[in-house]
């Protein structure tokens, strides 16, 4: 099957890789029979995080509905949970902005804010925590300060943030993502890469390494120093890491496309995913080693583009394309509500694939997600969360719409930074 985007570019659905468990599925297949245990967060502790000086909440592994007026602190709680994944959280924030304004020196010296959680992964328990610290580095003439995020797993310092993914996984949908299909490709690429590293922990490191190499390469060219050998070395490394980034993205897209084809959802739209990127496309027909050579040569020839301001092609430019398969419509031409449904389809497919592939359930962070959904879709989403026995944090301003969850969910009310549990909804 092939589909066209707004610019008329044609995208093919490439049938590809799947794990054994995913390919063994029949239509009568029930994930809840394969994954018998629940996974999620049982306790969350925040210190000097946004509007919370200190907060401690206990959760069951079930839908968790948080209601409260705008600005009361609901999204901040979801953001805190998102910091138990690698990266900059669900708002893509600067580490220093998260520290509570007017915070006193309540924490250990230099610690700006901290999030800690007791999580359950099937029948195992772990304590995960992350804190941001202010550090200083002495330069030649000055001392500059920077923020460093550290991660502890059961009290032991983890070597990378990606380690968190072995014990806990969060998938989020936020109001900012409502416009994800409309603007430039950067937020779509981040969304894609986040999905990739949920399956492939190395991917977080790869994208960070590529970004670092690219900045260095760009900086040297821009400075006008003709350090040819150094640049060639960087180009070689960028090509190698770049090709592995492209390959991992292709695998993710193929995995989700195959899954949604075999297990189409009964309520949410069928999606087709594609990659619009030179390197990813070249891997369709060429061996990785040849693509790497091409990429290296292409970077060499693109040095001049850094000066002229023309872009440099490669994995840092790749776009993530989404189509409504039945309507044969690119997501960017769908209505706002339809776009939200496409996103829900994607995260549901990702959730199920992750359960099968990693053997444990991710936690869903659904910020104001019900706003665009009619009652049928809303109830269908809640049913799926229950059926998969997921922990899902759901924020809303109105609690009435969650009547159907009475006795099956935890209800919290957030009132200017004070969070209280309500019994029975
Ligand atoms: N670093 C910070 N220190 C203190 N308060 C903050 C900080 N960052 C954001 N806030 C405040 O947190 C409040 C709650 O935000 P949010 O969680 O987004 O509310 P909502 O319940 O609408 O999702 C806002 O009023 C915002 O001003
Ligand atoms: Mg909010």
Does residue 314's CB lie within 6 angstroms of at least one atom of ligand 1? no
Q: Which has the higher per-residue pLDDT, 108 or 169?
A: 169
Does residue 70's CB lie within 6 angstroms of at least one atom of ligand 1? yes
Query: Cα separation of 401 and 37, whole Å?
Result: 28
- What is the predicted pLDDT for the residue at 401? 85
Q: Which has the higher per-residue pLDDT, 23 or 273?
A: 273
When mean pLDDT is compared across 59-68, 115-124, 258-267, 279-288, the lowest value belongs to: 258-267
CA of 185 to the centre of ligand 1 (A): 28
When mean pLDDT is compared across 13-27, 293-307, 396-410, the lowest value belongs to: 13-27
Residue 318 lies in a domain: yes
- Print the domain residue range for 266: 182-359
Ligand number with the minimum distance to the CA of 74: 1
- What is the predicted pLDDT for the residue at 13? 60
Per-residue pLDDT of 184-216, as tens digits, reads 999 999 999 999 999 999 999 999 999 999 999
CA of 374 to the centre of ligand 2 (A): 20
Ligand 1, residues 46, 50, 55: which to mutate, most atoms within 8 A of Cβ? 50
Does residue 74's CB lie within 6 angstroms of at least one atom of ligand 1? yes
How many separate domains does the chain show? Answer: 1
CA of 51 to the centre of ligand 1 (A): 5
Residue 15 lies in a domain: no
> Which ligand 1 atom is the nearest neighbour of the CA of 368?
23
Whose alpha carbon is nearest atom 27 of ligand 1? Answer: 71
Residue 418 lies in a domain: no
- What is the predicted pLDDT for the residue at 372? 81
Confidence of residue 103 (pLDDT cuts 50, 70, 90): confident
Does residue 38's CB lie within 6 angstroms of at least one atom of ligand 1? no
Q: Compute the mean pLDDT over every residue in the chain, rounded to the nearest whole number.
A: 91
Residue 11 lies in a domain: no
Q: Flag whether pLDDT at 330 surpasses 50.
A: yes
Residue 201 lies in a domain: yes
Does residue 51's CB lie within 6 angstroms of at least one atom of ligand 1? yes
Could you count the other beta carbons within 10 Å of the beta carbon of residue 314? 22
CA of 366 to the centre of ligand 1 (A): 17
- 280: domain CATH number is 1.20.1050.90
When mean pLDDT is compared across 22-26, 97-101, 123-127, 212-216, the lowest value belongs to: 22-26
Structural tokens at position 316: 């840092």
Per-residue pLDDT of 354-368, as tens digits, reads 999 999 999 999 999
Q: Flag whether pLDDT at 418 surpasses 60.
A: yes
Residue 242 lies in a domain: yes
- What is the predicted pLDDT for the residue at 27? 44
Average pLDDT of the segment spanning 30-51: 92
Confidence of residue 287 (pLDDT cuts 50, 70, 90): very high
Structural tokens at position 385: 């969360």
- Does the reported pTM lie above 0.85? yes
Percent of the chain with pLDDT over 70: 95
CA of 75 to the centre of ligand 1 (A): 8
Q: Which has the higher per-residue pLDDT, 332 or 147?
A: 332
Residue 219 lies in a domain: yes
């Amino acid at each position: 099957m092939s589909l066209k985007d707004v610019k008329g570019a044609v995208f093919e659905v490439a049938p590809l890789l799947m794990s054994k468990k995913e390919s063994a599925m029949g239509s009568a297949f029930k994930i809840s029979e394969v994954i018998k245990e629940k996974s999620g967060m049982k306790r969350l502790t925040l210190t000097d995080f946004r509007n919370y000086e200190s907060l401690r909440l206990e959760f069951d592994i079930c839908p968790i509905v948080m209601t409260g007026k705008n600005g009361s602190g609901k999204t901040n709680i979801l953001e805190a949970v998102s910091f138990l994944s690698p990266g900059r959280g669900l708002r893509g924030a600067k580490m220093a902005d998260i520290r509570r304004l007017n915070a006193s020196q309540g924490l250990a010296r230099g610690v700006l804010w901290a999030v800690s959680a007791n999580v359950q992964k099937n029948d195992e328990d772990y304590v995960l925590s992350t804190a941001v610290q202010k550090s200083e580095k002495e330069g030649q003439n000055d001392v500059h300060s920077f923020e460093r995020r550290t991660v502890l797993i059961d009290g032991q310092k983890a070597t990378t943030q990606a380690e968190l993914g072995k014990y806990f996984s969060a998938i989020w949908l936020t109001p900012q993502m409502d416009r994800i299909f409309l603007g430039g490709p950067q937020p779509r690429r981040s969304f894609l890469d986040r999905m990739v590293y949920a399956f492939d922990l190395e991917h977080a490191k790869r994208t960070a390494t590529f970004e670092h190499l690219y900045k260095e390469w760009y900086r040297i060219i821009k400075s006008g120093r003709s350090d040819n050998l150094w640049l060639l070395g960087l180009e070689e490394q960028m090509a190698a890491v770049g090709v592995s980034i492209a390959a991992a993205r292709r695998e993710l897209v193929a995995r989700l496309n195959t899954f949604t084809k075999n297990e189409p959802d009964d309520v949410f739209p069928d999606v087709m995913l594609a990659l619009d990127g030179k390197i990813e496309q070249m891997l369709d027909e060429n061996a990785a080693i040849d693509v790497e050579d091409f990429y290296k040569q292409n970077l060499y020839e693109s040095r001049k583009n850094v000066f002229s301001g023309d872009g440099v092609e490669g994995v840092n430019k790749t776009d993530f394309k989404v189509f409504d398969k039945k309507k044969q419509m690119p997501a960017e031409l769908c209505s706002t509500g339809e776009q939200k449904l496409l996103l829900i389809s994607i995260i549901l497919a990702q959730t199920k694939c992750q359960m099968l592939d990693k053997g444990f359930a991710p936690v869903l962070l659904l910020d104001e997600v019900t706003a665009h959904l009619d009652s049928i879709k809303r109830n269908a989403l809640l049913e799926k969360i229950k059926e998969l026995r997921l922990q899902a944090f759901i924020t809303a301003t109105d609690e009435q719409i969650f009547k159907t969850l009475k006795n099956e969910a935890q209800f919290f009310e957030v009132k200017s930074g004070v969070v209280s549990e309500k019994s029975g909804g």
